[in-house]
Structure 1
């Protein structure tokens, strides 16, 4: 059995996209996954499975979530080892910087080299964007209040993505990947 961490996109935003943790867990279990656990109500789910295809895992979860929630729930999955690697990359990228914010965009697929380069060209004097495989790190030394996505990262990447701050990523790695 392999442990995966799935990230649900665009839930619990506004009145029409409510999907409580208990419903997420029930839908995950109903889809045949084991050892299900959730963390905070932003769509972070640990599960184990014998399935090896990430695309099949994501597809099964998306189908179960749509049936339970009544709306589409894009889902992006990583093995526990992949998520731990993202956290290690984050530590390396933050070394020697005084970051106010560090967001990680978790991607369904790696962007093309051209899209990653275009995104990285948006770097500012104190801020940087670093793409590593299926994770795009926003390293913000300055932060404009109320602006979570200063460069339109998801749009620039052109791939399905959801974001979490580095604190959530580190917490999930400590909780589920150790």
Structure 2
């Protein structure tokens, strides 16, 4: 059994995509995932499964679409991959609540940085299948737009650290 983390996109954010975490846990268990735990109400679920990443993603996205009546994006990482994301954070000295990893399904395109607009005090770095952003002045007033991040989902480094710890347990 492999330990995984699923990160749902646009769930319980700004009044859209309401999904109680108890229902997400039950959904994952009904799909055959084991040791299911959710973390905060933004669509983070840790579990174990014998299935490969692509099969997990497909099963969970189909179940979520049936539930929500519209597509819900899911990004999957193994426990080991999430530990690498945490270790590779290029902004380790920055406040973890002002630093995010934007999780993508594929490596960020080579022209990712060229497609950035509205950048002010933010610092940006590319990862394996992530884009790291440090919001020096905080995220609330940022005008930063990263075209390559449109299909991704962001988690701050506090959340990444907790999920990595849970997935490794």
Q: TM-score range by the shorter chain?
A: 0.7 to 0.9
Aligned equivalents of 1:137, 1:73: Cα separation in 2:
22
- Could you say if the C-alpha distance between residues 81 and 119 of structure 1 is closer, same or farther in structure 2, counting changes exceeding 3 Å? farther
Q: How does 1:1-178 map to 2 (within 5 A)?
A: 1-15=1-15, 17-52=17-52, 54-90=53-89, 93-96=90-93, 101-115=98-112, 117-119=113-115, 126-143=121-138, 146-147=140-141, 150-153=143-146, 156-157=147-148, 160-178=151-169
RMSD: 2.4
Shift of 1:95: 4.3
Aligned residues: 169
Shift of 1:99: 7.5
- Could you say if the C-alpha distance between residues 89 and 122 of structure 1 is closer, same or farther in structure 2, counting changes exceeding 3 Å? farther
TM-score, structure 2 normalization: 0.87
Aligned equivalents of 1:112, 1:4: Cα separation in 2:
25
Other structure's SS at 2:61 match: helix
**Contiguous gaps of at least 5 residues in structure 1:** none
Aligned equivalents of 1:14, 1:123: Cα separation in 2:
23
**Contiguous gaps of at least 5 residues in structure 2:** none
Aligned equivalents of 1:113, 1:20: Cα separation in 2:
37
Aligned equivalents of 1:69, 1:128: Cα separation in 2:
35
